[in-house]
Amino acid sequence: MDRRFLEAAQKGNIEELNDLIRSNGLILEEMALEGAGHTPLHVACVAGHLDFVRELLKLMPKFVEKVNAAGLGPLHITAAQGDVEIARELLRVGQHLCSVKGHERRIPLHYAIINGELDVMKVLLSASPESIEETTAREEIVLHLAGKNNWFEAVIMLVEHLKQHKKEQVINWQDNEGNTILHIAAAVQNFEASHAIPF
């Protein structure tokens, strides 16, 4: 990525963005054709510049689909950081972004849970209720990740979501080691979480 573009994205400088585009009308298209790597949208998401994100999405919405060399798309980054407003902005491009697989087949919801970002978790589940069933490369669902990271409140919210959507059977799903959420809750000695799981 052009150093000047990187700096504009880091600072959230829309004026600089427009200057760069005026000097090379194809610069965004050229970046979109590049392989894995950070796009200006990745950088703007990391830096939390909502207005810059909006501008980039108007100019080059396909950036939202790009996964960088670390296996992260813009929504993965935003979910991990807990930025609800940028998450909503990215999801305006399409709810399908909730299913973009990153490193170890993790979707944005997985990153929100790993980092305990419950507000973003709610936004992602609202946009894509079925994403609760997506598995990682280790066959973990979001409940496994919440249990492993000791996010009791997330476990309760996820169980409620499953009940509302008549998907209670998901509670008994096993990861690649044969563990259900109950096994994980017991292993991390989260007795509150184990009592919240209906059996």
**Cα dihedral 48, 52, 58, 62 sign:** negative
- Verdict on whether the full-model pTM lies above 0.75: yes
As a whole number of angstroms, the distance between CA 17 and CA 19 comes to 5
pLDDT digits (tens, 9 = 90+) for 142-166: 999 998 888 888 988 999 999 999 9
For the record, the structure tokens of 151 come out as 């996010």
pLDDT digits (tens, 9 = 90+) for 55-108: 999 998 988 988 888 889 999 999 999 999 999 999 999 999 999 998 899 999
Q: How many CB atoms lie within 10 A of CB 22?
A: 9
Q: How many CB atoms lie within 10 A of CB 25?
A: 8
Q: How many CB atoms lie within 10 A of CB 38?
A: 21
Class of domain 1-130: mainly alpha
- Give the rounded distance of the alpha carbon of 3 from its chain centre: 26
- DSSP H or E run through 89: helix 84-91
Predicted confidence at residue 105, as pLDDT, reads: 94
